Amino acid sequence: MAKMTMVQALNLALQQEMEKDDSVIVLGEDVGVDGGVFRVTDGLIDRFGAERVLDTPLAENGIVGMSIGMAIYGLKPVCEIQFSGFSYQNFHQIENHAARLRWRSRGRYHVPMVLRTPYGGGVRALEHHSESREAYWAHMPGMKTVIPSGPRNARGLLVSAMRDPDPVIFYESKALYRAFREEVPEEEETVPIGQPRIVREGKDLTMIAYGAMMRPTLAAAATLKDKIGAEAEVIDLLTVSPLDDELFVTSVLKTGRALIVHEAPRSFGPGAEIATRLMEKAFYYLEAPIERVTGYDIIIPLFSREKAYFPNEQRILRAARKALRN
Q: Which residue type, as a one-letter code, is found at position 104?
A: R
326 has pLDDT over 80:
no
Q: Residue 302 gets which letter from DSSP?
A: P
Catalytic residue among 92, 97, 110, 129: 129
* Gap between the Cα atoms of 36 and 43, Å rounded: 10
Q: Can you tell me whether residue 257 is helix, strand or coil?
A: coil
130 has pLDDT over 90:
no
Map out the domains of the chain with their CATH numbers: 2-184 (3.40.50.970), 197-325 (3.40.50.920)
Residue 283 — very low, low, confident or very high, per pLDDT cuts 50/70/90? very high
Residue 77 — very low, low, confident or very high, per pLDDT cuts 50/70/90? very high
Q: C-alpha distances in angstroms, 305 versus 124, 276, 309?
A: 10, 31, 7
Q: Can you tell me whether residue 189 is helix, strand or coil?
A: coil
* Gap between the Cα atoms of 263 and 278, Å rounded: 20
Annotated active-site residue 139? The verdict is no
Parallel/antiparallel/unpaired status of strands 205-209 and 232-236: parallel
* Gap between the Cα atoms of 25 and 127, Å rounded: 30
**pLDDT tens profile 294-314:** 999 999 888 888 889 999 999
The average pLDDT across 109-113 equals: 97
pLDDT of residue 129: 83
pLDDT of residue 125: 79
* Gap between the Cα atoms of 311 and 208, Å rounded: 13
